[in-house]
């Protein structure tokens, strides 16, 4: 076996992306169909099911959200590659829409990036974000970030592209240089990352509409805009970002923040009132939740393989 990964044939039909590159990835096909993609981030199989059922064509596994939900820790470089790959495998198995993974820095040098790409592809991922922070990284909207030398990340992007080979995997090069060395350096870095083979570019942390417009003017599409509630970048609509020149619009923490707020409120009510009896309108009904996870389908599957000796229980 090649050290770059397992032999695999390309999947999908050859298409011409909006950048003019011949590709085979599901994400390029979605870009051709929709031109602009808005997608929320998830952190487990249930949140991914809800995104799919809401009609979004793809989703994103947020490292920030996985660190918070899986470890109860901030996005401070605590997540390991093994933990991210395990989350990827579980979530990708639960839905049919493609999923892009927040792979942080690739968890090491260029050789580690090769392993990360192979592991994510085998887990079912449709793509990855690969950033140029020094490890341990931290959320792009937190203070105290540092970035690696540009040539080092160029080599990591090249390693990711080589490891992908002709497989269905979309590589987003992310730079956190805006808040470290300035917007001009972030743009310069992204140009080099594109030359190294990245499919899309992501400047994290622009601080104004004017900076977003500069990014869109100076860099080739497809471009990522990160709409993080409470972050340093202004929250814009899909239509506003599309008009500026962005094609991939991710809302990575919307699900996490919404679910945590709902749980905080209902736990507080339960603690003070001793029951949720007066707040049933704030809870999903029993049967509706079962519809989300297709309980009836599993009842039918169970019945298909039931033997005459089985004695079903009742509830």
Give 123 or 138, the one with higher predicted confidence.
123
Residue 217 neighbours by CB under 8 Å, 6+ apart: 245
Within a domain: residue 267? no
For 215, the domain range is: 15-259
Within a domain: residue 185? yes
Within a domain: residue 268? no
Residues in the chain: 315
CATH label of the domain that carries residue 192: 3.20.20.60
- Say if residues 174 and 129 touch (Cβ distance below 8 Å): yes
Domain count within the chain: 1
Q: Is the pLDDT of residue 152 over 70?
A: yes
What is the predicted pLDDT for the residue at 184?
97
Locus of tokens 């449709």? 126
Q: Is 314 left (phi over 0), alpha (psi -120 to 50) or beta?
A: beta
What is the predicted pLDDT for the residue at 23?
54
Least confident of 9-13, 29-33, 37-41, 84-88: 9-13
Within a domain: residue 170? yes
Percent over 70 (pLDDT), the chain: 90
The per-residue pLDDT for range 197-221, each reduced to its tens digit, is: 999 999 999 999 999 999 999 999 9
Within a domain: residue 315? no
Give the pair of three-digit tokens for residue 219. 């860099």
Question: How confident is the model over 118-138, as a mean pLDDT?
Answer: 94
The per-residue pLDDT for range 212-265, each reduced to its tens digit, is: 999 999 999 999 999 999 999 999 999 999 999 999 999 999 999 999 999 999
- Say if residues 126 and 168 touch (Cβ distance below 8 Å): yes
Q: Is the pLDDT of residue 64 over 80?
A: yes
Q: In which band, very low, low, confident or very high, does the pLDDT at 139 lie, cut at 50, 70 and 90? A: confident
What is the predicted pLDDT for the residue at 312?
62
Q: Is 107 left (phi over 0), alpha (psi -120 to 50) or beta?
A: left
Question: How confident is the model over 129-133, as a mean pLDDT?
Answer: 96
Cα 91 to Cα 95, 145, 181, distances in angstroms = 7, 29, 36
The per-residue pLDDT for range 81-101, each reduced to its tens digit, is: 999 999 999 999 999 999 999
Question: How confident is the model over 302-308, as a mean pLDDT?
Answer: 89
Q: Is the pLDDT of residue 63 over 70?
A: yes
């Amino acid at each position: 076996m090649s050290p770059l990964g397992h032999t695999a044939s390309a999947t999908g039909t050859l298409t011409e992306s909006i950048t003019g590159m011949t590709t085979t990835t599901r994400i390029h096909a979605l870009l051709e169909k929709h031109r602009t993609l808005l997608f929320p981030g998830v952190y487990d199989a249930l949140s991914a099911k809800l995104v799919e059922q809401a009609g979004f064509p793809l989703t994103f596994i947020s490292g920030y959200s996985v660190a918070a939900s899986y470890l109860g820790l901030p996005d401070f470089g605590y997540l390991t590659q093994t933990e991210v790959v395990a989350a990827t495998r579980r979530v990708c198995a639960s839905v049919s829409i493609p999923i892009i993974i927040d792979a942080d820095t690739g968890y090491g040098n260029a050789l580690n990036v090769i392993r990360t790409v192979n592991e994510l592809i085998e887990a079912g991922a449709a793509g990855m974000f690969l950033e140029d922070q020094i490890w341990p990284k931290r959320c792009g909207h937190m203070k105290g970030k540092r970035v690696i030398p540009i040539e080092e990340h160029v080599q990591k992007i090249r390693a990711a592209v080589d490891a992908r080979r002709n497989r269905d995997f979309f590589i987003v090069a992310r730079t956190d240089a805006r808040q470290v060395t300035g917007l001009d350096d972030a743009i310069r870095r992204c140009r080099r990352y594109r030359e190294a083979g990245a499919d899309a570019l992501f400047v994290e942390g622009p601080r104004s509409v004017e900076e977003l417009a500069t990014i869109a003017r100076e860099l080739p599409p497809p471009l990522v805009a990160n709409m993080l509630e409470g972050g340093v970048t202004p929250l814009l609509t899909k239509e506003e970002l599309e008009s500026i020149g962005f094609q991939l619009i991710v809302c990575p923490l919307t699900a996490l923040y919404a679910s945590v707020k709902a749980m905080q409120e209902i736990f507080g009510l339960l603690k003070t009132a001793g029951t949720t009896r007066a707040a049933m309108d704030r809870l999903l009904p029993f049967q509706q939740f079962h519809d989300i996870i297709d309980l009836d389908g599993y009842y039918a599957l169970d019945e298909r393989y039931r033997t005459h000796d089985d004695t079903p229980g009742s509830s």
